[in-house]
Structure 1
Amino acid sequence: MTHDLTPDEYRTLLLQAPGSAFDADTEQPDLLKMFTPSSHRRALDPDVTVVLGARGTGKTYWTKVLETEELRKVAAASYMIPRLSGLTVTTGHGRGGGSGAAYPTRKIVRKLVQQAPDGEEFGEFCENFWLAVILVALDVPTVVHLSSWQARIDWVAEHPEECDSALWDRDRDAQHYGSPHLLIFDALEHLHQDRSVVDKLVSALFAVALDMRLSYRNIRAKIFVRPDMYASAPKDFADASKLDANRAELTWTPENLYGMLFHRLGNQPGLEAEKFRALTGPWHPQGDGRYTAPVEVIADPERQEKVFGEMAGLYMGSDHRKGYTYTWLPNHLQDGNGEISPRTMLRAVSKAAEVTRDRHPGHEFALHHDAIRQAVQDASQIRVAEIKEDIRWAAAAVEKLRGTQVPMEPSVVIHIWSTESLAAELRKLLEDSEDGSGPADVGDYFGLIKELTALGVMTERASGAVDLPDVYRLAFDIGRKGGVSRPRKTAK
């Protein structure tokens, strides 16, 4: 049997390996496809309290991995963190909630906030809210058996000594049974539609989690949060400076992204994957059906460029003047902060294979360079769909710039937003929204530009002009001289 892969066989792998679902909320982590980039090791350390990650970088994915014992053990072995294997893990907040969950739904949070006191007392309410959630997550009977979340919060406020005793008891239990308890908090942007409320709730969660980190040996909290939310949440509590030393970031380098792609190709069932492993090996079987690639295949750019070159060619055209394929793809998928969503990368590769199959079936490589360009446009649509789901106000603001061209002066952006009554539209959007939170001030257009820049949706040039990365610009039909072409409108 020859180990060479034909373009069609490569194309089959590239169509199948990324998977059919590109949404972390619907796709469950898969044992064979699970990839552990070296840059994420610290994020999974149980002692790290805060994990920063932009939309699509893996916050929900790692939450699900930590919740699943089998996957958690794989991560423990891969990252050489044996403590992960012996944890008891409970989710303190995520998407959902409801009956039987350790945390309240968004509607319940909204009702609780409406009934909460104002001023400094609201800060106390926020801390008591999270302590109630933690006691339920730790299955403290006295609190679990109360009839409502309001009753649980009231109990915490009225019984501070009993609350402390319950936490100490759970800490001792965890030590006695040799199973430290990890509480995971994710999807915090879905707590409430009012960003100021979210900031106060997140600030209180930071304070409570840090206090637990300093007070108990066997109870830990891990908070997955967007960088902009971490920055905007007040940190006016004791020892707040220790949070910065006790945080990690979910980042994806181009090497990580290609390593993830190659890992999936080598772990896809079938003859094509077997051939791919033989060509790029030696791969090491793990005994659970998984294979791990040689280090250079998942980490060395020169080796990766050769592997990807076998699939897509070295250049985005006839020679290097059109760009090098290996670097061109991630460069055009990154946001304004240089971040690339793994799902965006997988979608782009899958789409490029699909377009090549349909339009360039006789091409010498599995991926045609024109198909890669079109795939970036498709990936842009996916990325924008993501922010419309989680950060709707950001999508609404950029939508107002549709049909324009960047770079443009901030004054032009603000003029467009003012003329189009963006502030009124955002207020209505946030009133009607059940998901996501809004900006700090919908009427502060300079502030909106700064927030969009912090989110990576916009960028600021040295001249001060506003620009947009291709991964957002294309889907909003915003032009740029010398940039990737916008999708052409099909004649009806």
Structure 2
Amino acid sequence: MLRNLLRGLLQVLLEFRSYRAIRPKVFVRPDMLDDPEVKSFPDASKVIDSAVALTWPRRELYGLLWQYLGNAPESAAFRDDCQRGFGQVWQLRGDGVWLMPQGMRQDEELQRRLFDAIAGPWMGIDARRGFPYTWLPNHLGDADQQTSPRSFVAALRMAAETSADYHRRYPDYPYALHYEALKRGVQLASAIRVEEIREDYPWVAHLMQALAGLTVPIPFQDIEARWQQNGTIETIGSSLEGTRARLPPRRIQQGAPGLREDLTELGVLQPVAAGRINIPDVYRVGFGLGRRGGVRPVGVERT
């Protein structure tokens, strides 16, 4: 079982604390460390308390983008535009790597102006639909507002690949990335994230697939009713009996309320006002749920 393997790995880290010259580093998803069984060994706190959260704030996500663009093949035009239009001078390191100017790394207002020059100032014909610089990471974050660099880069790659289609349809559009292509990027990133969670937590996929077609935010009673209608919880319980599931739900014995807590810990469900439940776009789109005015679910096109 994956829990046993992870607990054993943490115990190895504990043993290495006695060595001065060797400091192993392990990357673990936060949801795995939330499991009490993983930490059920003596002195586990000595390892857990030394953990450092690896998060990607918005400015660092965009810093990653600039670093890609500044060192991509035929990237001289981008670096020249940064200097001419924004006064940002790239420096060439001895090993041939171009170093990003400090302002592009830390100044979010500068980052916004740079991205506006690439994707335009609005996610539509005016400001009512949002602003690309904030819209993209907001729609790729989970319920804890954490956006993975993999999702961010995947969404931008898809947006770049599909913007040509929109430029042919709208030849007067003046920006490199079309806002509709950014939405296509979110669809792809959501499909990738859903596949990742399906591999690690198959039971999550079963629960969420039973909700396809619903529109969020939604009362939790409606979610529970759909699970009951499809016999989803019973099916998951039966599939776990006698197996060594990698990361089974910890609270399945509590029924729907327990599974709600499990999904909330994973960042899939997001409680909002008046007892309603929201599902972040990075999961909602890929699992086929709707939201008024939001990005269309994967496989649903505009009619």
What is the TM-score with the length of structure 2 in the denominator?
A: 0.86
Alignment of 1:155-166 (within 5 A): none
Are 1:317 and 2:121 an aligned pair? no
Q: Provide the residue aligned with 2:176 in structure 1.
A: 366
Report whether the alignment pairs 1:394 with 2:198: no
Structure 1, residues 428-477: CA drift from partner, whole Å, max 9, x if none?
A: 65579998422124443222111111111111113232210011111222
- Residue 255 (structure 1) aligned with residue 62 (structure 2): no
SS, match of residue 24 in structure 2: strand
Q: Tell me which amino acid in the other structure corresponds to 1:275.
A: A
Distance 2:102 2:245 in 1: 41
Say which SS state the counterpart of residue 248 (structure 1) adopts.
Answer: coil
RMSD value, Cα: 2.5
- Give the Å deviation of 1:225: 1.5
Match of 1:450 in 2: 261
In 2, the alpha carbon distance for the partners of 1:468 and 1:288 equals 45
The one of 191, 196, 205 equivalent to 2:9 is 205
CA distance in structure 2 between the aligned counterparts of 1:432 and 1:383, rounded to whole angstroms: 29
Q: How does 1:59-98 map to 2 (within 5 A)?
A: none
Amino acid of the structure 2 residue aligned with 1:422: T
Matched, 1:231 2:37: no
Counterpart for residue 303 of structure 1: 110
Once the two structures are superposed, what CA deviation does each residue of 1:166-200 show, in whole Å capped at 9, x if it has no partner?
xxxxxxxxxxxxxxxxxxxxxxxxxx2xxxxx434
Contact 1:200 1:233 in 2 (8 A): no
| Aligned pair partner of 2:219 in 403, 409, 415 | 409
In 1: Cα distance, 2:28 partner to 2:299 partner: 37
Q: SS state of the match for residue 287, structure 2? A: coil
**8 A Cα contact 1:203 1:233, kept in partner:** no
Alignment coverage as a number of residue pairs: 292
Contact 1:477 1:487 in 2 (8 A): yes
Question: Match for residue 283 of structure 2?
Answer: 472
Quick one: percent identity of the two aligned structures?
39
Query: 1:223: Cα distance to partner?
Result: 2.4
Cα separation, partners in 2 of 1:490 and 1:314, compared to 1, 3 Å: closer
1:282 to 77, 89, 114: 89
Q: Of 287, 292, 296, which residue of structure 2 is paired with 1:485?
A: 296
Structure 2 residue 134 is the aligned partner of structure 1 residue 330: no
Among 375, 379, 385, the residue aligned to 2:189: 379
SS of residue matched to 2:218: coil
Q: Which runs of 5+ in 2 are unaligned?
A: 83-87
Tell me how far apart the structure 2 counterparts of residues 413 and 318 of structure 1 sit (CA, whole Å): 35
Q: Does the Cα contact within 8 Å between 1:392 and 1:436 map onto a contact in 2?
A: no
Cα deviation, residue 422, structure 1:
1.8
Aligned 8 A contact 1:263 1:298 in 2 = no
Greater RCO between the two (CA within 8 Å, min separation 6)? 1
Radius of gyration: which is bigger? Answer: 1
Distance 1:433 1:282, change over 3 A: farther
Distance 1:208 1:353, change over 3 A: closer
Cα distance between partner residues in 2 of 1:263 and 1:436: 36
Residue identity in the other structure for 2:59: E
Pick closer, same or farther for the CA change 1:383–1:236 going to 2, 3 Å. closer
Q: Give the 5 Å matches for 1:47-66.
A: none
The one-letter code matched in structure 1 to 2:76 is E
Residue pair 2:251, 2:262 contacting (<8 A) in 1 also = no
Distance in 1 between the 2:240 and 2:65 partners? 37
AA aligned opposite 1:320: A
SS of residue paired to 2:65: helix
5+ residue gaps in structure 1? 1-191, 193-197
Q: CA 1:486–1:212 in structure 2 vs 1: closer, same or farther (change >3 Å)? A: closer
Helix, strand or coil: the match of 1:485?
Answer: coil
The answer (yes or no) to whether the contact 1:389–1:435 under 8 Å persists in 2 is no
| Offset at residue 490 of structure 1 (A) | 6.1
Per the alignment, residue 419 of structure 1 pairs with: 229
Normalising by structure 1, report the TM-score.
0.55
